[in-house]
Structure 1
Amino acid sequence: MKIEVQHKIPKKILTPTSGFLNGYSHSLNPYAGCAFACSYCYVRQSPVGLFRKQEWGTWVDVKQEARELITKEIRNLRKRNKEITIFMSSSTDPYQPVEYKEQVTRALLEAMAETPPDFLFVQTRSPLVTRDLDLFLQLKDRIRISVTVETDLEDIRKKFSPQAPPIQARLKALQELKEYHLPTQAAVAPVLPFSNDFPAKLAQVTERICLDDYTGDGSQGKRTERLGINDIYEKDQLEYWYKNRPSEKALEKMRTSFKPDQILVGQKGFMPF
């Protein structure tokens, strides 16, 4: 799929949060749009996804001068004695393919290593995240890196997010981050159909998981429902995983490999500190 890439200079790079991310002071999106184009992505139904009038996954805006902007904004917040907790990213993936060339995310991390926030949560599904190990280590005491792993079944991944990275590559990335003793988690969000071996596979690469289903889309599942995601489940006779709160089913399974304090559910798993 060809991606239309545009370069734009935003007025600001940090956005005050509310709703699902109200535990943070700001969200940080290095890009607008996302080439991974996951079928269930709630951003498709958000203003950034709807107002563009282009199919989600076919366009990406690169935010230029990001390093200068975030340094200035963090310093201004510090002058006002504000706590700075940042969620990166809420409406894009900071390590989507365009990052290989543009390196906006890396520039932002370089700036935050020099002028750090109080806490940074990095959310991605890309193994490219391991490229920035050097910067994560500088932020080690004030960071958590969350890698989405919704299932361990490649055929399921291909049904729901064919443009996203393979599952095994994500597990390998988590393993590498763990080897450097960085705070990580696997975000099983949304929970997709998985095998009985999935809990053990996750336990090998991280000590913390977060479970969520489509109720975590910011509208208790209504945004996702409007996407017609249930059609994918019905086509492959997987309705049970859609209609029966799969996060509860997953919780029972994950307890075989994780201690209770290593399993977080819903919003709690994405909160700072």
Structure 2
Amino acid sequence: MNISMKTPKTLLTKTSGFLNDYSHSLNPYTGCAFGCSYCYVRRLPVSLFRKEEWGTWVDIKAAGKEQLKKELLRAKKKGPVRIFMSSSTDPYQGTEAKEQVTRTLLEAMTEEPPDFLFVQTRSPLSERDEDLFRKLGSSVLVSMTIETDREDIRRAFAPSSPPIAARLKALRQLKSAGIPVQAAVAPLLPFTSEFPEKLKQAADLVTLDDFFLGDGAGGKRSASLGVLQVLEGLGEEDWFNPERLVQEKARFEHVFGRRNVRISQDGFAPFRL
């Protein structure tokens, strides 16, 4: 893993498109050590212009609390500040345990709170910041990606990502601490019939997304990443089908209730429990 330090000119980036429900995105890192094979960021400029394989490099953004507080103050003068963290990386990279960039930025936000903060991660390390999430109260939602409950599927698509059991445990802990949380089954990967019930024990809200709604290209980007070939190798090619999300939605609604099952872009929009 190639890890380097960068000094950003700004931390907050104005959003558009899929994240148009937010005013800004916030990425504490560039690159991602998890290197999930289906990740749409592999086809974005941040990855394509880099002469290194996605998943082998991470740039740490050396920015302090005061810088973010100043940017938040400026942004607030122009209107409500709703932040999506993060749009092109996981805010809880392995190096975060040492560097604490994300924690520092969260500390800044507890002192100069945004109107809403959405934290998207797949890392159990997020449990560490329970104290800061609690300070943000109902203005934060921690969304944990748990795309399957089958370890063989996780290893096939994202072998460097955290184990499923660890993610479920962290989500349960945050929920029990009163932190607003959701489980993000994104993308929808093959799972067992017990999966919805397992998620219900860890979260009251679930978001579903697939390779067709979520990749920004109607499934073409995911196909170019070899998703179908991996599924065929597992004998699960029928999951690469836009109708599958409709079928599985009913299963999750039976467990969570219709109001608590969100789909694709709507599932990543601001939401207060």
- Report matched runs for 1:145-184 at 5 Å: 145-184=142-181
Identify unmatched segments of 5+ residues in structure 2.
none
Q: Report deviation, 1:178.
A: 0.9
Residue 21 of structure 1 aligns with which residue? 19
CA distance in 1 between partners of 2:116 and 2:217 (Å): 26
Residue deviations 1:27-57 (CA, integer Å, cap 9, x gap): 0000000000001000000010100121000
Residue 57 of structure 1 aligns with which residue? 55
Q: Report deviation, 1:244.
A: 4.3
Residue deviations 1:107-132 (CA, integer Å, cap 9, x gap): 00000000110000000000000000
| Aligned partner (choices 238, 247, 260) of residue 236 of structure 2 | 238
CA distance in 2 between partners of 1:66 and 1:34 (Å): 21
Aligned-residue RMSD, C-alpha: 1.1
Residue 92 of structure 1 aligns with which residue? 89
Amino acid at match of 2:267: G
CA distance in 2 between partners of 1:213 and 1:66 (Å): 36
Amino acid at match of 2:87: S
Residue 199 of structure 2 aligns with which residue? 202
Q: Report deviation, 1:68.
A: 2.7
Whether 2:129 is the aligned partner of 1:129: answer no
Percent identity, aligned pairs only? Answer: 54
Q: TM-score normalised to the size of structure 2?
A: 0.96
Residue 226 of structure 1 aligns with which residue? 224
Amino acid at match of 1:179: S
CA distance in 2 between partners of 1:90 and 1:81 (Å): 22
Residue deviations 1:147-199 (CA, integer Å, cap 9, x gap): 00000111111111000001011111111011011111000000100000001
Q: Report deviation, 1:5.
A: 0.5
Query: Does the Cα contact within 8 Å between 2:146 and 2:167 map onto a contact in 1?
Result: yes
CA distance in 2 between partners of 1:188 and 1:236 (Å): 19
CA distance in 2 between partners of 1:92 and 1:40 (Å): 13
Residue 140 of structure 2 aligns with which residue? 143
Farther-moved stretch of structure 1 (91-100 vs 223-232): 223-232
Residue 260 of structure 1 aligns with which residue? 258
Task: Classify the secondary structure of the residue corresponding to 2:53.
Answer: coil
Task: Classify the secondary structure of the residue corresponding to 1:23.
Answer: coil
CA distance in 2 between partners of 1:205 and 1:243 (Å): 28
| Aligned partner (choices 200, 214, 217) of residue 215 of structure 2 | 217
- Report matched runs for 1:31-110 at 5 Å: 31-78=29-76, 80-110=77-107
Residue 112 of structure 1 aligns with which residue? 109
Query: Does the Cα contact within 8 Å between 1:33 and 1:56 map onto a contact in 2?
Result: yes
Amino acid at match of 1:32: T
Q: TM-score normalised to the size of structure 1?
A: 0.96
Amino acid at match of 2:63: E
CA distance in 1 between partners of 2:64 and 2:49 (Å): 23
Query: Does the Cα contact within 8 Å between 1:129 and 1:173 map onto a contact in 2?
Result: yes
Residue deviations 1:202-260 (CA, integer Å, cap 9, x gap): 11111000000012122222222221221101112211001244322321221231110
Query: Does the Cα contact within 8 Å between 2:210 and 2:242 map onto a contact in 1?
Result: no
CA distance in 2 between partners of 1:46 and 1:23 (Å): 21
Residue deviations 1:72-91 (CA, integer Å, cap 9, x gap): 1101122x242100000000
Task: Classify the secondary structure of the residue corresponding to 1:137.
Answer: helix
Identify unmatched segments of 5+ residues in structure 1.
none
Task: Classify the secondary structure of the residue corresponding to 1:232.
Answer: helix
